[in-house]
Structure 1
Amino acid sequence: MERASENRRPAVGKPVPGIGEMLNRRPPLRDINNLIGAPPYPSAIAKNPMLEKSGKEEQKRALVGHRPMTRNFAASLTRKEQLGHQDNVTDAAVACIDPQKKLIPDDTVDDDLLESRESLDDITVDETERDDTEEEEFMMDIDSVDSGNPLAATEYVEEMYKFYRENEETSCVQPDYMSSQEDINEKMRAILIDWLIEVHYKFDLMDETLFLTVNIIDRFLEKQVVPRKELQLVGVTAMFLACKYEEVSVPVVEDLVLISDRAYTKGQILEMEKLILNTLQFNMSVPTPYVFMRRFLKAANSDKQLELLSFFLLELSLVEYQMLKYKPSLLAAAAVYTAQCAISRWQHWTKICELHSRYTGDQLLECSRMMVDFHQKAGAGKLTGVHRKYSTFKFGCAAKAEPALFLLESGASGAT
């Protein structure tokens, strides 16, 4: 690559000749003498094909200089040759009449002007050829603003999310796993998770902790039959494990005993902790909707309003058992898509969002409509923990935003 670039770079002290200089260059005597004996009329000049061809090739090489020969640049050279053809014929005719007469350059030709026009044409051609490539690179590069932030891991963030997509199936459960349970059902699961969302809010825990807690509960219930009286014990223990994995400051076991109204002892919580870890084979590293949500919000160039509304819709989906049929990445993408539609009041899903989420608006529409329905009914019924949480000023009163009801229309289609 370095050798190629050196070949294209003009030598120091030897500037590349401009178009004006090349068109007005004085021809060698031997070229003029080749025309002796030709009829003294411009229309009757007998051309030497080999001489003309070699002259054009030399001129093209000089004009090209260090530039690559593209189709557009070749076309511009051809146009210039056609425009200069008549002047070249006239000069040749004069040389035939008086072989000793030197061709004097036309002082009226502005070399700088010709060179500036050529440079402008070159820049325009190059920019046109690079438009598609630069747009694609711009669409893909959403991490440039974080290039100086070591916590953003911009050097390998794409590899991370490639790994998440390849392994998100490991965090999923069968959407009908509750059929194997004898004493609990999906309504009891919804009550438990709605209560844990309130506990999570009171302890002021990180968002990652909540999503990992719900994931641990579902994966454990899929593999282990649990009696009704121990369901809450599974919930508080799952949150205890998620805190150990995600939090800097972990709640003590006594806090969990108090929050569960002393329904369980410290020993029972520790025993359940061992049972859950053994059942899940100590696998706490799974991609939850949270990791995808952060990436898709970044692709959407989100503000605080979009972020809070997206998380509100996603937490509403955590409570609903029927949403287990969707992969974590699709849940996160649908939450961002639905929130954008609710804010803008039209179907909004950009090419950048589609590129990074790997989902089109049409693919998200089914899940998005379900989220709109949850949003519409969030303040009603008995399970209102998420609605109360996002009705506070701390969470921007996101629950009070108008739902995107137009997505429920049967004629709605994916966004562009």
Structure 2
Amino acid sequence: MVNSCENNIVVEATTTSVLQDETTSRKFGQEMKREKRRVLGVINHNVVGARGVVNKRGNLSKSRVEEPLYHQEDAKKLKTSVPSENYFGDSIFIDDEEEEEEATLDHTMPMSLEKPYTEADPMEEVEMEDVIVEEEPILDIDLSDAKNSLAAVEYVQDLYSFYRTMERFSCVPVDYMMQQMDLNEKMRAILIDWLIEVHDKFDLMKETLFLTVNLIDRFLSKKAVMRKKLQLVGLVALLLACKYEEVSVPVVEDLVLISDKAYTRNDVLDMEKTMLSTLQFNVSLPTQYPFLKRFLKAAQADKKCEMLASFLIELALVEYEMLQFQPSLLAATAVYTAQCTVGGFRQWSSTCEFHSHYSEDQLM
């Protein structure tokens, strides 16, 4: 009987204790629920003040992406400080609105919204800014001769423009030697080589030599000549060139003496009439030399470069294959070759290109 009463007392005490524990748990849960709501309200207030409106659907707006990092960290710290369960394992019930707000605060930023760090691809083509290259100025090569009346500075541009127009009439057919039955290219080369020596002995002007060769080629391209008359053609062409270019002209007797008296005075005069009538008295055509002087002046060539260019252009006189090129092109090529040889590198300034009307590619 006593034992039964004791057992009842123990059971009642245990039941009372359990009920007290449950009541305490409920009170603790309600307090934690109120505390969590207060904390979430503080967080929501801070976040709203910092970033604007919270999207309850969990979608992060642009303002969410731009949220400062310290707000996110503070929110995480406050969230982790609030337990989700009580000490007795009882879950705390939070309404749907609080869960959505908690999910919004605890949701990590999607990778697509973050600005990824990408290393520069070394193979990626980088667009470079256009580098402005200053064009080489064209020099006024006639400025130094402004006070020289013999230089004809006022008319020099018009003169060379006229030369470039008329130089095509100075050219002869490349295959004209095929029309000569008794002559060949080698004989022409021997004649011109001999005339260069005669020109040097008489100390004649360089213009005379180039005009002499031009008269020979133009005459041979229009009239067939026997081999024994070829030297006479050369002497008469030299005589006509001297009459056109020189101040002091060699007499006919001197030319007969140079030919070792192979021709008479009358032979020289008769060939002179024949040549002038064949050429229709047209001896005023531009040759390589006027262009050579002009292009050397444009290149500001020194004495060494000038002598080398003159030597090259004289070698071109002997070669029959050079007849296919215009005089201005031959002169420009001689100056360009001399510059490259003396300087050791390619050089063709914009001033040379302007006055010669030939680019470096054309000369090459």
Pairwise same-fold verdict (TM > 0.5)? yes
How far apart, CA to CA, are the structure 1 residues paired with 2:165 and 2:141? 21
Aligned letter for 2:191? L
The answer for the alignment partner of 1:307 in structure 2 is 306
Aligned counterpart, 1:217: 216
CA contact (8 A) 1:140 1:355 kept: no
Question: Aligned to 2:221, what secondary structure does the other structure show?
Answer: helix
Provide Cα deviations, 1:291-335, integer angstroms capped at 9, x if missing partner: 100100000001111111100000000000000000000000000
Question: Match of 2:268?
Answer: 269
Q: How does the TM-score come out when normalised to structure 1? A: 0.55
Which residue type is aligned with residue 302 of structure 1? A
* Cα distance in 1, alignment partners of residues 362 and 174 from structure 2: 19
Number of equivalent positions: 231
C-alpha spacing 1:215/1:207, structure 2 compared with 1 (3 Å): same
Q: Secondary structure at the match of 1:223?
A: coil
- SS for the counterpart of 1:343 is helix
Match of 1:201 in 2: 200
- Matched residue type, 2:252: V
User: Tell me, which stretches of 5 or more residues in structure 2 are unaligned?
Assistant: 1-133
Counterpart CA distance in 1 for 2:211 and 2:356 is 21
Structure 1 CA distance for aligned equivalents of residues 307 and 235 of structure 2: 25
Whole-angstrom distance in 2 between the partners of 1:144 and 1:331: 26
Tell me what 1:345 maps to. 344
Q: State the one-letter code of the partner of 2:184.
A: N
Divergent runs of 4+, >6 A: none
Corresponding residue number in structure 1 for 2:153: 154
Structure 2 residue aligned with 1:253: 252
What does residue 64 of structure 1 align with?
none
Q: Where does structure 1 lack aligned partners over 5 or more consecutive residues?
A: 1-130, 366-416
Q: Describe the superposition over 1:114-167 as per-residue Cα deviations: whole angstroms up to 9, x where unpaired.
A: xxxxxxxxxxxxxxxxx97xx65xx15110000000111000100000000011
Please name the residue that 1:293 is paired with: 292
Distance in 2, matches of 1:358 and 1:230, equals 40
- Looking at structure 2, the residues matched to 190 and 183 of structure 1 have their Cα atoms a distance apart, in angstroms, of 15
Give the Cα–Cα distance (whole angstroms) in 1 for the partners of residues 139 and 226 of structure 2.
49
Q: Which amino acid aligns with 1:209?
A: T
Counterpart CA distance in 2 for 1:297 and 1:319 is: 22
Q: What is the 5 A alignment of 1:308-323?
A: 308-323=307-322
Which residue pairs with 1:143 in the alignment? 142
Structure 1 residues 46-71: Cα deviation after superposition (integer angstroms, max 9, x where no partner): xxxxxxxxxxxxxxxxxxxxxxxxxx
Structure 1 window deviating more from structure 2 (176-185 vs 343-352): it is 343-352
Offset from partner CA, 1:387-406 (integer Å, 9 cap, x none): xxxxxxxxxxxxxxxxxxxx
Listed one character per residue, the Cα deviations across residues 64-101 of structure 1 (whole Å, up to 9, x for unaligned) are: xxxxxxxxxxxxxxxxxxxxxxxxxxxxxxxxxxxxxx
Question: Amino acid of the residue matched to residue 187 of structure 1?
Answer: K
Matched, 1:184 2:166: no
State the shift of 1:283 in Å. 0.5
* 2:162 equivalent in structure 1: 163
CA RMSD, 1 decimal: 1.1
Following superposition, the deviation at residue 180 of structure 1 comes to: 0.6
Q: Distance in 2 between matches of 1:191 and 1:215?
A: 15
The one-letter code matched in structure 2 to 1:352 is T
TM norm structure 2: 0.62
Letter of the 1:328 partner, please give it.
P
Q: Letter of the aligned partner of 1:212 in structure 2? A: L
Secondary structure of the residue that 1:200 maps to in structure 2?
helix
Letter in 2 for 1:344: G
Q: How does 1:122-133 map to 2 (within 5 A)?
A: none
Q: Which residue of 1 aligns with 2:75?
A: none
C-alpha distance in 2, partners of 1:199/1:152?
Answer: 29
After TM superposition, give the deviation of residue 348 of structure 1 in Å.
1.5
SS of 1:172's partner is coil
1:229 to partner: Cα distance: 0.3
The Cα shift of 1:361 comes to: 1.4
**Matched letter for residue 264 of structure 2:** T
Distance 1:272 1:242 in 2: 14
